[in-house]
Amino acid sequence: MSFKPHGKHLIAGTWVNSMEKFQSEPAHGDANDFSVGTTDLVEKACAAAEDAFATYGYSSREERALFLNTIADEIDARGADVTAIGTSETGLPAGRIEGERGRTTGQLRLFSKHILTGDYLDRRYDKALPDRNPLPRPDLRTIQRPIGPVAVFGASNFPLAFSTAGGDTAAALAAGCPVVVKGHGAHPGTGEVIADAIHTAIKKCNLHPGVFSLVQGGNRTVGQALVTNEHINAVGFTGSLGGGRALFDLCAARPKPIPFFGELGSVNPMFMMTNAIAARGKALGTAWAASLLMGAGQFCTNPGIAIVVKSEAANAFIEATKAALDQATPQTMLTNGIANAYGKGVAEFRSAAGVQELIADTCTPRTAVAALYRVSGKDWMRNSALSEEVFGPLGLVVEVESLDEMLILAKSFDGQITCTLHMDEADTADAKNLMPILERKAGRILANGFPTGVEVSDTMVHGGPYPASTNFGATSVGTLSIRRFLRPVCFQEIPKDLLPTDLQ
């Protein structure tokens, strides 16, 4: 690997060391030393972001679009370095890293196009009616305005697309909000090279250096200091339910509470309708296994649960899934911590009452093997732990006695990022009974597909009712996510020269 990280933080245009160091834990290659984040660095980064907002928050859409495109260009210019450090730190194959880099730069360029159209501003105008009786109406104009500096937490499972310059950062910068990123300790070198790309883009576009800062990983006090800093106006987070809920509570407990947009995981249940299973159960089982194994199951859209009505066709589906998973080889996981947590999850399923183990093997450090379990609908309903996410390639088949029991079980799910219907035309009437339930449970509902592919587009919703996310009105993927970092402002009888440029 030619790229050698220097291990510093980027604070308002300056690369900064700190006394304490931590060492990366790469899947292969050499470990590197990185500076540990501190509360003092957080304060400096947030203060600089507030200073930057005075200009960046009032920049033109054209200026911000150029900035986003320049970041994308600079990331692509560092493509070889991104691949080298990304594969080393995460163990992901080069093709996955390169594909994720394309998604990351694609998001930036998509937001660039999105803000140039101006539709996201939701401009509204009520013309003055001075002669209206019994009361005249004033001139009223409304537009969406940026909220101020935003904090973003890097994600463990997406070192690029959900981290330093990922969707949260792209949406915030597009809206006109400076960003302070807390880097994830699982891939600090990847975060550094992406931060360098943003740093170069800031200089090329002649922007205030406080528009972006990266504070490398530290202990919990660093994250706490970031979400409670008085200059931060919103937080974007992708991670565990426990960690996200702790930060959410801190945001709510502030003297001036701020929104916390946390994407906290999901089991993404699939409802296997009877005619579909009868017609193509074996093919569905093979396809489900492929989706479970993708990326060692380390996706928030991993379809971890399949609900089937007990039958011979359902048995064929289960056997096909098992046969496909049996052929899988152990996969390297993103971190030792994730691998350990997966091993604990497998052990808990193995010992749960009423659960039949179909496939399981002993995990070795940093690797995972597929696991498959089977349980009745009644036993599943008795044990809420079986509905909790196990981050990795673990699948659970829940067998119900009837479609009526499937409806009862669907109602019992907590909020999900996705729910899926596998159905044939003959299943339409039964699927219609499920749809009102699933619409209240998930941000995205699929038919005859697998949720592990997330299209970055204008229509995508990535989020859902709690605990899938902390704000059911938001998405962390797609151009709708820009709404999280905007708020409507109404201008009444304001002279034209005082209005925002986009309202004049």
| Greatest Cα-to-Cα distance within the chain, rounded to the nearest angstrom | 80
* pLDDT tens profile 56-68: 999 999 999 999 9
For tokens 């005075």, the residue is 54
Phi, psi dihedral angles at 497 (to 5 degrees): -70, -15
The alpha carbons of the chain give a radius of gyration, in whole angstroms, of 24
User: CB–CB of 462/443 below 8 Å?
Assistant: yes
* pLDDT tens profile 385-430: 999 999 999 999 999 999 999 999 999 999 999 999 999 999 999 9
Residue 70: CB atoms within 10 Å: 21
At residue 358, the pLDDT reads 96
Catalytic residue status for 490: no
User: CB–CB of 392/296 below 8 Å?
Assistant: yes
* pLDDT tens profile 200-233: 999 999 999 999 999 998 789 999 999 999 999 9
- What 3 state SS string does 237-268 have? EECCHHHHHHHHHHHHHCCCCCCEEEECCCCC
What is the token pair recorded at 197? 């790309």
Catalytic residue status for 46: no
Distance CA 387, CA 414 (A): 8
Distance CA 447, CA 276 (A): 11
Give the pLDDT band of residue 362 (cuts 50, 70, 90): low
User: CB–CB of 373/396 below 8 Å?
Assistant: yes
At residue 250, the pLDDT reads 97
Strand partners, 345: none
Q: Please tell me which residue in 50, 98, 100, 263 is annotated as part of the active site.
A: 263
Mean pLDDT, the chain, rounded, equals 96
- For residue 196, the SS3 value is helix
CA angle 318, 323, 329 (to 5 degrees): 130
What average pLDDT does this structure show over 126-147? 97
* pLDDT tens profile 176-195: 999 999 999 999 999 999 99
Helix (H) / strand (E) element for 441: namely helix 428-441
What average pLDDT does this structure show over 287-314? 96
Distance set, CA 286 to CA 40, 326, 346, 372, 425 (Å): 52, 11, 21, 13, 21
Helix (H) / strand (E) element for 359: namely strand 356-359
Phi, psi dihedral angles at 152 (to 5 degrees): -130, 135
Residue 1 has pLDDT above 60, yes or no: no
* pLDDT tens profile 88-114: 999 999 999 999 999 999 999 999 999
Distance CA 270, CA 421 (A): 6
DSSP 1-32: --------EEETTEEE--S-EEE---SSS---
Distance set, CA 364 to CA 331, 336, 342, 373, 427 (Å): 10, 10, 11, 20, 43
Give the pLDDT band of residue 472 (cuts 50, 70, 90): confident
Give the pLDDT band of residue 453 (cuts 50, 70, 90): confident
Distance CA 183, CA 171 (A): 17
DSSP 31-95: --EEEPP-HHHHHHHHHHHHHHHHHHTT--HHHHHHHHHHHHHHHHHTHHHHHHHHHHHH---HH
What is the token pair recorded at 422? 């596998």
From 331, 58, 432, 17, select the one nearest 192 (Cα to Cα).
17
At residue 265, the pLDDT reads 86
From 165, 162, 211, 199, select the one nearest 59 (Cα to Cα).
211
Length of the chain: 504
Residue 240 has pLDDT above 80, yes or no: yes
Give the pLDDT band of residue 3 (cuts 50, 70, 90): confident
Residue 297 is classified by DSSP as: G
Counting residues of the chain whose pLDDT is more than 90, the rounded percentage is 95
Distance CA 162, CA 121 (A): 24
* CA 43 to mean position of chain CA atoms: 26
* pLDDT tens profile 420-433: 999 999 999 999 99
Q: Please tell me which residue in 300, 363, 389, 419 is annotated as part of the active site.
A: 300
Residue 249 has pLDDT above 70, yes or no: yes
Distance set, CA 448 to CA 266, 441, 445, 462 (Å): 19, 18, 10, 18
Interior/surface letters 287-305, b for 16+ CB within 10 angstroms, e for the rest = bbbebbbbbbbbbbbbbbb
At residue 457, the pLDDT reads 96
User: CB–CB of 397/376 below 8 Å?
Assistant: no
What average pLDDT does this structure show over 327-338? 91
Residue 2 has pLDDT above 80, yes or no: no
User: CB–CB of 417/326 below 8 Å?
Assistant: no
